[in-house]
Structure 1
Amino acid sequence: MTGNFVTIGAALALGSSGILTKLLALPVFCIVVIATRLVGRWMEQHKLPDLRILLWAEILLLALGAVLALRFGPFPNSDAPPAMLFGMVLVSAMAIQNAVHRTHMASDAPSTLMTGSTTQILVDLVDLLHGAAPETRPALRARALRLSRSLGAFALGCGIAAGAYVAVGNGGFVLPPLVAFLAWLATESVRRNAKPA
């Protein structure tokens, strides 16, 4: 959302295209977060595997985004209907990711909030170097390490995405649903192996 506000400002200042799509992103994001929470709560009440179902919804949206990118991209006019649909599909996937993280993985390092994570890492490092009480040092180190792993994974993902886009253009949009699906398979395997026999 921060980046979206910055690009809206740039589009307004420079008169570039995409302002409608950028303006639509915020309400779509909000609606999908609300819908994700409501549907998740309904599934919890009905004893359905809400986390698994919501992650599948995210994977399917990423796959749909890849299909749209391959079929209609590149998008010279960001406000054209195919570009707008592509953008809102990916915004919806990101909204599900954010909502699921807050409701099911709140103790894990954020996977989408790099500004806050970077700030916290730097604050923790300063505190560790200058005056943190000895009893708080282990918790500060642990948090800085956890957030650093998340930040490193995010940076690696950005590098891979940029390389894929340079190498194969819109075909690079196939990677996110593929990686998400492989992560889901790995998680399912761990979950199955952790069950008592």
Structure 2
Amino acid sequence: MARLPLPILLSFNGGYVDTVGFVALAGLFTAHVTGNFVTLGASIALGTGGALSKLLALPVFCIVILLVRLLSQRLERSRKPVMTVLLWLKLIHFIIAATFAQIHGPFDDGNSLAAFAIGMVLVSAMAIQNAFHRVHLSKMPPTTLMTGTTTQIMLDLADLIGGTAPGDLKPVKERLKRMSASVVAFALGCAAAAVAFLLSRTWCFAVPVVLVALSFFAPVGSPEAASTAAPANAVHTE
């Protein structure tokens, strides 16, 4: 049976977690953390909740990225499977968030300690995903922010339509295919999160646990990504 490539799973997860955080935690972006500057301004101007979470999301994100990088370097020196360790760390964060949601959710008050706590756990989990992608899947499209990807898609389409693309069109078409798949997966993740939230405001936090579990068995999805990920020697590639 065909398995979804790892970048597609990560993109779906990126859209899902960011949407769940936004709708369940008073407008908190857990993946696109710089977007919290906008929602923080809205919280201050309109008196909506979650200001502390939005204020601290970026510092927490940065600290986790720093720690993940230091951990990865230490694991590489010890010849340990970096990708597997990072996936386990992300899985643990999502398990904590899902369990916490069952005990303390739903999070109607964005200013509550419970909403802040689960928000920072999700921000940390997505920081791990961002670091994972930048180090081990750097030749694949981003999985948590689609603005640059969409821009490149439109530029490539314009080059193809205008006849100004390079003589060898195969790399351009392959890039278009990968980037389009990433955007579609991200959008489907957003839609799935909205549906899951409507079905259950607490169980919606359990879906990322399943997505990360599937990631352990996902093929990397391209020769370029496989070569980038090779030093980690952990996730199955095809």
Q: Answer whether TM exceeds 0.5 for this pair.
A: yes
Offset from partner CA, 1:101-142 (integer Å, 9 cap, x none) = 000110112111211111111121112212424415332222
Identify the residue that residue 91 of structure 2 maps to in structure 1.
Answer: 59
Out of 152-161 and 94-103, give the one that drifted further: 152-161
Distance 2:146 2:236 in 1: 28
Distance 1:71 1:96 in 2: 24
Is the contact between residue 49 and residue 110 of structure 2 (CA under 8 Å) also seen in structure 1?
A: yes
Q: Which amino acid aligns with 1:60?
A: I
1:191 aligns with 2:223: no
Distance 1:118 1:55 in 2: 27
Match 1:73 to one of 93, 105, 109: 105
The structure number with the bigger radius of gyration is 1
Distance 1:62 1:178 in 2: 9
1:19 aligns with 2:51: yes
Identify the residue that residue 84 of structure 1 maps to in structure 2.
Answer: 116
Distance 1:126 1:103 in 2: 30
**What is the number of equivalent residue pairs in this alignment?**
193
Q: How far is the alpha carbon of 1:146 from its aligned partner?
A: 0.7
Offset from partner CA, 1:88-111 (integer Å, 9 cap, x none) = 000000000000100011011211
Structure 2: 5+ residue runs without aligned partners?
1-32, 220-232
Out of 143-152 and 179-188, give the one that drifted further: 179-188
Identify the residue that residue 120 of structure 1 maps to in structure 2.
Answer: 152
Distance 1:122 1:186 in 2: 29
Distance 1:182 1:56 in 2: 12
Match 1:98 to one of 125, 130, 145: 130
Distance 2:90 2:166 in 1: 43
Match 2:186 to one of 143, 149, 154: 154
Q: How far is the alpha carbon of 1:33 from its aligned partner?
A: 0.4
TM-align CA RMSD:
2.0
Q: Which amino acid aligns with 1:183?
A: S
Out of 139-148 and 49-58, give the one that drifted further: 139-148
Structure 1's 190 and 64: CA in aligned 2 closer, same or farther, altered over 3 A? closer
2:183 aligned counterpart, secondary structure: helix
Out of 67-76 and 23-32, give the one that drifted further: 67-76
Offset from partner CA, 1:43-86 (integer Å, 9 cap, x none) = 10011111100111001101111111121112122222111110
Give me the TM-score of the superposition, normalised by structure 1: 0.90
Distance 2:110 2:211 in 1: 26
Moved over 2 A (4+): 136-140, 185-192
Give me the TM-score of the superposition, normalised by structure 2: 0.75
Q: How far is the alpha carbon of 1:186 from its aligned partner?
A: 4.2
Match 2:210 to one of 166, 178, 191: 178
Q: Greater RCO between the two (CA within 8 Å, min separation 6)?
A: 2
Structure 1: 5+ residue runs without aligned partners?
none
Distance 2:172 2:138 in 1: 18
Distance 1:20 1:118 in 2: 31
